Amino acid sequence: MTTQGYIAYRSDYKYQLAERYELMIAIIPKHHIITPYIELDRQGLLTVNAGYAWDGPSGPVKDTPHNMRASLVHDALYQLMRHQELVARTHRKTADQLFKDICKQDGVSSFWASIYYKGLRKFGKPYASPQQKKIVLQAPKQD
């Protein structure tokens, strides 16, 4: 859709992926999922395309190189849940565990990775919900 006189955008993102990223994961969708920035095939290959925007680790967690890859993968999977491409009830726990595992692979201590995981389990559910889709803003605001 072409618009004139205003722009439509989403806020709350801090990072934009500069290069395509691929990872084999344990989540196998019922069908091959293809969105403009995220793809998940029937073998479990997750592809996040260059240009994907995400907010990094959430809550009181400080953004570091040791948790950035985990936050990218986790945010992409939660986005697929918000858009109902994946069923949150089925896949959220696996996505949270993957965050923990990648954190540990990338240098986060087991202690802190477990704390992050517990936080995701306790507070993450609303962020996988379709009601949490990012709203589209306009500038200048249209009435």
**Model confidence at 143: pLDDT above 70:** no
Bridge partners for 98 per DSSP? none
Four-CA torsion 79, 81, 84, 86, nearest 10 degrees? 120
Q: Is 115 helix (H, G, I), strand (E, B) or coil?
A: helix
Return the pLDDT at 134: 80
Cβ(81)–Cβ(93) under 8 Å? no
Return the pLDDT at 12: 84
- pLDDT tens-digit readout, 76-106: 999 999 999 999 999 999 999 999 999 999 9
Share of the chain above pLDDT 70, in %: 97
The span from the CA of 135 to the CA of 115, in Å, is 30
- The residue among 59 and 106 whose pLDDT is bigger is 106
